[in-house]
Structure 1
């Protein structure tokens, strides 16, 4: 458990277990603790590197906007710092956007990619979720004082007084339009998409995203020879907010990470 000075940021990361490296990237307003319920199952099979992103957890903010692209560069710089080429990435929600941008911007560093409850374009969220994102600012951050995410932040953050600032910068990020569809379609590494069946992302976008990765276009054939390299899992009885703590998540993800997967043509 230590800091790495990379890409202009002092990035907190924790390493658990042994084996092929798997990088975990948490969701918005979270930290490495977000993965605590599933970490033992993942670390039993992999060397897990859990990261606190810019302004989150034990990683202090710095004088730059919060952007998926710059945080992806942070993750890439950490992988190089740790000499971990060919790592697997698993990102959840906001961390999924960072993981996806890391794969797009630094494909040579990513072996396999798992995106949990993550759309590939901003309009992939439900309209009511986008409306809630649009309201996030310092005022809402103040209203969130005393909640479990704030209590954790107050306990571990280098500057606990930055909590409202994190909400303002995150709100600015979440209001920005993006559509990474063309870049997703060009990804060469195997990708797994994992969603809850009551997620903040509609099933129609799940299918669209999977289609961009080569999935859902044809029958796999009796012997599975036409099965795509991409995988899609929709986990039952879960939501966007509890999928990351469910034992169903590592149960779905570990076979994809450990089994041989045919690379896309």
Structure 2
């Protein structure tokens, strides 16, 4: 458990287990502890590097906006700082967007990509989710005091008083429109998309995202050799909030990361 000085940021990360490196990126207002329920399963097979993104957990905020792109650069710098070659990267929600941008911006650093409950364009969220995102500001952060997320932040953050600021900067990020479809369609690395069947990302967008990665366009053939490098998992009985802690998640992720012959079809 340590800090890495990357891009003017003191980025907190924790290491668990051994084996091929797997970088974990939490969701909004979360921290490395987000993955506590599934960490033992992942660390039994991988050298897990869990990261607190800018302004979250033990990583203090700095004088720049929250952006998927800059946080992806932070993750890439950490991978370089640790001397990792071909790391696997898994991100959930906010972290899913950061993981995707890491693969887009730093393709040589990412071996396999897992995006959990995150869209590749702003309109992939359901309309009511977008409306809720638009209302996130300092005032809503104040109303969230006393919640489990705030209690964790208050316990570990270098500056606990930054809690309302995190909400203001997160809201500004979440209101920004984006569409990474064109960049996604050029990705060739093996990618697993994981969603809950009652997710905050629309079911239509799950299929759209998968299609951009080459999935769902044709029958893979009797022996499966024509299947794409992408995989899609929709986990039953779960929501956007609880998918990241479900034992179903490592059961979907670990075989994908271990598969020896995934290649573009």
**Which structure 2 residues correspond to residues 1-265 of structure 1 after superposition, within 5 A?**
1-264=1-264
- Per-residue CA deviations over 1:31-75 (Å, capped at 9, x if unaligned) read 000000000000000000000000000000000000000000000
Gaps of 5+ in 2: none
Gaps of 5+ in 1: none
CA RMSD across the alignment: 0.6
- Per-residue CA deviations over 1:101-131 (Å, capped at 9, x if unaligned) read 0000000000000000010000000000000
Distance in 1, Cα, partners of 2:233 & 2:82:
31
Q: TM-score, normalised by structure 1?
A: 0.99
CA contact (8 A) 2:227 2:264 kept: no
Distance in 1, Cα, partners of 2:43 & 2:182:
34
CA contact (8 A) 2:188 2:229 kept: no
Distance in 1, Cα, partners of 2:107 & 2:261:
17
- Per-residue CA deviations over 1:201-223 (Å, capped at 9, x if unaligned) read 11110000000000000111111
- After superposing the two structures, state which structure 1 stretch, 221-230 or 47-56, moved more: 221-230
Q: TM-score, normalised by structure 2?
A: 0.99
Distance in 1, Cα, partners of 2:233 & 2:91:
15
- Number of matched pairs: 265
